[in-house]
Amino acid sequence: MSDHQPTPSVCPLCAVGCRLVPGENQRARGSAGPANPNGRLCRKGVGAYRVGDGDADRLTEPLVRQDDTLQAVSWDGAYERIVDGVEGIKTTHGPNALAFLGAPHCTNEENYLLQKLARSLGTNNVDNRARLCHVSSARALSDQVGWPATTTSLADLEASDIILVAGANPAERQPIAFNSFVRPAVLNGARLVHVDPVGNRTTRLADYHVAPRPGTDALVFDLLSAAVVERGDGVDRAFITDRTRGYDSFAASIAGLDRERTVARAGVDATTIGEVVDRIAEADRVAALVGTGIEGDGDEPNAAAALLNLLLLTGNLGRRGTGLYVLRGLVNEQGATDAGCVPDRLPGHQSVTDPKARESIAAAWGVEPPSEPGQTASELLAAFGDDIRGAVIVGENPAVSKREPEWIRRRLDSLDLLVVCDIVPNETTRYADIVLPVAAGVEKTGTFTNLDRRIQRSRPTRAPPGTARSDFDVLRELGSRLVAGRELFDYTCVGDVFDELARVAPTHTGLSYDEIGPEGCQWPADTDGVLYSESFETPDGLASFVTAQHAVEPTATTVDSNNVGRLQLVAGGRASEFEIDRAHSGRQLRMYPVDAHDRGIEPADDIVVSNGQVSVETSVEITDRLREGTVYLPATVADPLLRSGGSTVTVRPASESTDDI
């Protein structure tokens, strides 16, 4: 097994998967790869080697809590304490009193080992936050076509006639993918449609900007489908007949959609919608790229499902230049779930309730995984100190989230055992009983799977400091010490684990660590990057339409008096914790000119944003890059407002004394 090939690292800072090598002065240099064919890096990627390098805070030795303080111990001492704690909890409370949280920063092999450790101990309580990032898109893809993953390749966008970007800003968030694949396609004649309440850098390249009211994305996609059906010539009858089911129910569910009222409800421009419908109906190949902006709050209709309906209706799946792309954010969001680091899915997205899948895993492991789905990360967190007595957290910092900080602190503090693996102390390590120092992204050997299912090998370009070691080494050792039958975790190298993943995960069948070359490889092995060209990954091989889920509410006639003067708050993306250039991450509220004028707000004014319970102070940018009636805040600024449950807000100049308008 060769872990020492001179392959570049994979940029650990986002899911595009650019390749890089060390340059001068701690800067990274791009190395041409499948995700960055021009060998370019974005500004963030150039700083990839600075993460954790020479950081005075860097953890260098294991720490164990003694007399209420964390004190340095040997690795053996730390492992022994963990083994005692885990075994004690398992004996007293059972395996389901344990929780394991993996991370989209960790490699495929590390996430695989974590879920194997949890399941070998007898619990499916294993999760990672990647599962939460695109939950409705993943659900729609799983339910309607098969796998929760991008259906074709970034490079295939060159064949697209229409690229529809919804709820995302790839020009800023996935810049190298945008500039390497979307921009060239558009310059070559593809039309770009941007569906987002807020105009941003992606909008600048767009031919059409559709700005729906927040929460009405699904309605807009249903409206597009209804108009395509009404127009007739864009409907792919042969595709619908041969490759789908449920069309009649879907068609009936959108047949009554009143176009005028729907346009008013969504607040979109009817002329723009008409032109987008014409372009989609005329196009041979339509691809859709979705971000977290269409995720909704859980109660809203699933916008990704409505978008998939539109793609199925027009025969836009299973060919180059078509399909649905999930614009994932963190480096291994896709791989962490592929590896089975989720409570209801085994490696390769097999259900834990499927006896055949469990049998096949048992044949490889010698231990059968439990059949009851485990709890999700947010359920586990809520049960900390009650049903959950011990947690192993790898590369995550749950003390910082949208939840109320004091509530989280109480939960973390009430565990009998909290083990945290990280590169630096953080808000969660404050509550840990054992803290293990681990390697940063560019210090690891292993594979990462990017946003178009491409698996790339990454090599370490420096050693971790002190006695820190990779999460891979930590989990392999914990598995050997905790699970009866040490041979279950008796791996000589990362490649052994990848090859085991390829044996047990149907998605990865036929892949081999040693055969992953400089271009990486996409799963599944035999598709040339395009999923579903012959058949969908469903029991009968057909894709499913789902029925439209909503009725159009009256608009002009009904006004909620509680909402008079209030504005709809849209929260932006959450900056990565590895964000290098924190000084440039803006805090400003963006506001439409008429809304600002009505409230006597001038450009750059200090303002107060309030939902009636909580207020935040910031400054304002007045811009027409978002729709009237909507304001935009970066997630980190919006969090206190969102936590307290208010997504409509008032905005006033800070100089005014009134608390609410």
460 binds ligand SF4 (CB under 6 A): no
Please identify which residue in 14, 185, 254, 287 interacts with ligand SF4, judged by CB under 6 A: 14
449, 452, 456, 461: CA torsion to nearest 10: -80
Indicate whether 70 belongs to the interface with ligand SF4 (CB under 6 A): no
- Judged by beta carbon, residue 178 or residue 545, the one nearer ligand SF4 is 178
Closest-CA residue to 489 (of 121, 187, 132, 86): 121
Assess 11 for contact with ligand SF4 (CB under 6 A): yes
The smaller minimum CB distance to ligand SF4, of residues 13 and 622, is found at: 13
Cα gap 661→646, rounded to integer Å: 15
Question: Which residue in 95, 102, 148, 175 binds ligand SF4 (CB under 6 A)?
Answer: 175
Question: Of 331 and 505, which has the nearer Cβ to ligand SF4?
Answer: 331
Is the Cβ of residue 313 or residue 423 nearer to ligand SF4 in the bound state?
Answer: 423
Q: What Cα–Cα distance (Å) separates residue 494 from each residue in 109, 384, 447, 593?
A: 7, 32, 9, 55
Reported residue count of the chain is 661
Q: Which residue, 368 or 579, has its beta carbon nearer to ligand SF4? A: 579
List the 19-22 sheet strands across, edge first.
Answer: 9-10, 19-22, 28-30
Q: How far is the CB of 457 from ligand SF4 (least distance, A)?
A: 15
Stretch touching ligand SF4 by CB under 6 A, among 6-14, 63-71, 157-165, 611-619: 6-14
List C-alpha distances in Å: 90 to 83, 373, 389: 10, 18, 9
Where do runs of H (alpha helix) occur along 449-507?
A: 471-482, 494-504
The answer to the question of residue 13 lying near ligand SF4 (CB under 6 A) is: yes
Binding test (CB under 6 A) with ligand SF4, winner from 97, 106, 133, 176? 176
Q: Which is nearer to ligand SF4, 175 or 291 (CB)?
A: 175
| Amino acid letter, residue 34 | P
Q: Give the interface segment with ligand SF4, choosing from 51-59, 173-181, 408-416, 619-627 (CB under 6 A).
A: 173-181
Query: Closer CB to ligand SF4, residue 51 or residue 303?
Result: 51
Residue 442 binds ligand SF4 (CB under 6 A): no
* Pair of tokens at residue 454: 């491409």
Rg of the chain, C-alpha, whole Å: 25
Q: What is the distance between the alpha carbons of residues 597 and 537, in angstroms, rounded to a whole number?
A: 53
Q: Measure the CA–CA gap between 40 and 37, rounded to whole angstroms.
A: 8
Question: 334 and 130 in contact (C-beta within 8 Å)?
Answer: yes
Q: Is 183 in the site for ligand SF4 (CB under 6 A)?
A: no
Using the rule CB under 6 A, is 228 a contact of ligand SF4?
Answer: no
Residue 212 interacts with ligand SF4 (CB under 6 A): yes or no: no
Q: Which stretch binds ligand SF4 (CB under 6 A): 7-15, 233-241, 408-416, 499-507?
A: 7-15
Residues 507, 108: contact at Cβ < 8 Å?
A: no
Asked if the bond preceding 640 is cis, omega within 30° of 0, the reply is no
51 near ligand SF4, rule: CB under 6 A: no
Give the nearest distance from C-beta 530 to ligand SF4 in angstroms: 23
Residue nearest to ligand SF4 (CB): 45
Residue 631: exposure state from Cβ atoms within 10 A (0-12, 13-18, ≥19): buried
Q: Does 546 bind ligand SF4 (CB under 6 A)?
A: no
CB atoms within 10 A of CB 657: 6
Minimum separation from the CB atom of position 193 to ligand SF4 (A):
22
Contact region for ligand SF4 (CB under 6 A) — 16-24, 345-353, 610-618, 626-634?
16-24
Q: How far is the CB of 634 from ligand SF4 (least distance, A)?
A: 18
Question: Should residue 19 be labelled a site residue for ligand SF4 when binding is judged by CB under 6 A?
Answer: no
- Residue 318 is a binding residue for ligand SF4 (CB under 6 A): no
Residues 29-48 that bind ligand SF4 (CB under 6 A): 36, 41-42, 44-45
Based on CB atoms, which residue is closest to ligand SF4, 356 or 584?
A: 584
483 lies in the binding site for ligand SF4 (CB under 6 A): no
Does 18 participate in binding ligand SF4 (rule CB under 6 A)?
A: yes
Size of the site for ligand SF4 (CB under 6 A): 14
- Tell the residue number behind the tokens 């600048």, with chain if given: 204
- Check: CB of residue 513 under 8 Å from CB of residue 472: no
Residue 580 CB, shortest distance to ligand SF4, in Å, is 9
Helices (H), 540-634: 593-598
**Per rule CB under 6 A, is residue 234 in the interface with ligand SF4?**
no
Contact 313, 97 (CB under 8 A): no
Q: Are 540 and 401 in contact (CB under 8 A)?
A: no
Q: Which among 260, 237, 262, 259 has a CA at the least distance from the CA of 248? A: 237
DSSP 8-state code for residue 257:
-
User: How many CA atoms lie less than 13 Å away from 247 in the CB half-sphere?
Assistant: 21
Nearest CB to ligand SF4, comparing residues 343 and 441: 441
Q: Does 62 bind ligand SF4 (CB under 6 A)?
A: no
289 binds ligand SF4 (CB under 6 A): no
Binding residues among 356-385 for ligand SF4 as defined by CB under 6 A: none
Binding test (CB under 6 A) with ligand SF4, winner from 7, 9, 16, 198: 16
33-60 burial: b if 16+ Cβ within 10 Å, else e: bbbbeeebbbebbbbbbbbbeeeeebbe
Tokens representing 569?
A: 């708050």
Give residues in contact with ligand SF4 (CB under 6 A).
Answer: 11, 13-14, 16-18, 36, 41-42, 44-45, 174-176
